Chains A and B, each alone.
Chain A
C-alpha cells in the first residue's frame, strides 16, 4: 500500500506504440528546458476570428479522454457547444469543437475544462485513499 502515500509526482506516462518517436510523451511539467510536445494538440481551420469558436485536434487520444473532457467542458455555463469525434478509428486522432457564448475564448474553455478534470481526479484519488486507509470493508467475497 505504499503507493497511496505517494506525493503528486506522476507515475510513468503511457508508452506510445513502438513506431512513434519517444520525444512525444514524457517530461512535460517539470524542468522547463525539456522539449515541449508540439504535435500533441493543434488548432484546426474553422475557428472564428475572436477565438470564441474553435476546433482542436489532439493526437494519441481516444474516447477515454475525449468523452470525459467533453462532459466537463459542457458543464461550463459559458460554453454553447462542445462535441468530440474520432475521424477514423484506425488513426489515434481526436477532434474537439468548442463554441462559447462570447465571454471567453474556446482555448480558455478548453484549459478550464482540463483544470476541472484534474480537480475531479485529485478529489477522487484522495477520497479513495481515505476510504482504503479506513479499512471498513470486507476482505472476502460474499
Chain B
C-alpha cells in the first residue's frame, strides 16, 4: 500500500506523499472537504494536566507539521520581558537573573491580556490590559535559631535560596478584580533562581507581557510538541517456537504477543519505538517488514503549565486558520 513509508536497515523508502490529482489514473485525489471529513479521525489517548497524547488520522504531513510548528512558535503566552532592578547585591549578575526570571513559565491565561502596542510612547505603553507586574524582594539574614552542627545553608541562613514562588503578583488597576480568582503564580513554584548569603539582597520589579515563541523561546507555551507516525509491523512468514520468543524480545514489551500455537503476532504496533532491532538479526531476514503509516500522526504535547495541552493544540489550529483567512482577504499588490 503506498500509504506506508518503508523502513529498511539503512534507509527509508516511499516517503513522498502522492495524494494529488494526476498522480495515478484510478485515484482521484482532488480536494473535497466531504472526502476529507470521511477520512479524518481524532483519537485521544490520554490528557493529563500537562501532557496530551492524541492521534490525528487522515491528514497530510504538511498540515500536521504546521500544527507542530505553530504550537512551538506561534501560540502566544505570557512571560517576563522587562526586569527593573532596584537592588541586587547577590553574586548572580543582573542580566543573568533577569534571563532566568524571563524563562519562568507563568500561570496566566494569555487571553486575559492584549498585545503591547510598540508604537505607543514608552511611558504609556504598559497598561493594566497588557502587562502583569511581579515583584521580588528578598533579603538574606543569619538564622538566630540555627540548629548547631547542621551546616546546611537552609539551616544557617534565612532566605538563602530564592525560588520562583518568591515572585509576588502586584495587581494593577482592574487586575485586582480580573485576577481575583486566579492570581498570577509561576507554574512550578520551586524553580531555584538565585542563592544568597547574609547581607545580600535582591529587589526588583518585573513586567510580563504577551509574546510568541518565534520571538523568544520563553514565550513558547509547550516544553515540547512532537509527533510520530504510527509504526507498522508486517510479519510476512510465520515465526514460531523459540524464534518467536526472540522476535518478541526485539520489540518493546506489549508489541508482539505469542498465540497458543507458538506463532508470534503483532499485538499493539503503537507501542513500538521502531528501534529496528529486528533488522539486525539475519534469521528474520525476509520474514518481517517494518514501516510507518504516512497519514497517522501520534501527537505528544507537553505544556509548561500556562494552558492545558489540549487548549494549546486548539489554539494552534485557530492560528493556522487565522493565517489563511487573513491572507485570503489581503489585496495582492505589485512588487515595485
Residues of A within 8 A of B (CB): 1, 3-4, 10-15, 17-18, 21-22, 25-26, 28-29, 36-45, 56-58, 61, 63-65, 67-72, 74-77, 107, 111, 114-125, 127-129, 131-132, 136-142
Chain A binding surface SS class: mixed
Residue among B29, B214, B317 with the highest chain A CB neighbour number at 10 A: B317
Least Cβ–Cβ distance between B208 and chain A, in angstroms: 14
Least Cβ–Cβ distance between A120 and chain B, in angstroms: 6
A13 surroundings in chain B (CB, below 8 A)? 322, 326
Partner of B326, one of A17, A28, A107, A123: A28
Q: B266 on the interface (CB 8 Å rule)?
A: no
CB <8 Å contact, B324 and A14: no
Q: B241 on the interface (CB 8 Å rule)?
A: no
CB <8 Å contact, A17 and B33: no
User: Do A121 and B320 form a contact, CB below 8 Å, given A64-B69, A70-B62?
Assistant: yes
| 6 A-B pairs in the complex with CB atoms less than 8 angstroms apart | A15-B211, A42-B332, A68-B62, A71-B20, A127-B41, A128-B310
Least Cβ–Cβ distance between A129 and chain B, in angstroms: 7
> What range describes how many residues of B lie at the interface?
35 or more
Q: Which of B98-106, B113-121, B191-199, B230-238 contacts A (4 or more CB under 8 A)?
A: B113-121
Give the A-B contact count at a CB cut-off of 8 A. 203
CB <8 Å contact, B20 and A11: no
Residue among A17, A18, A26, A75 with the highest chain B CB neighbour number at 10 A: A75
CB <8 Å contact, A138 and B324: no
Partner of A137, one of B46, B118, B119: B46
B313 surroundings in chain A (CB, below 8 A)? 128
| A57 to B, closest residue via Cβ | B335
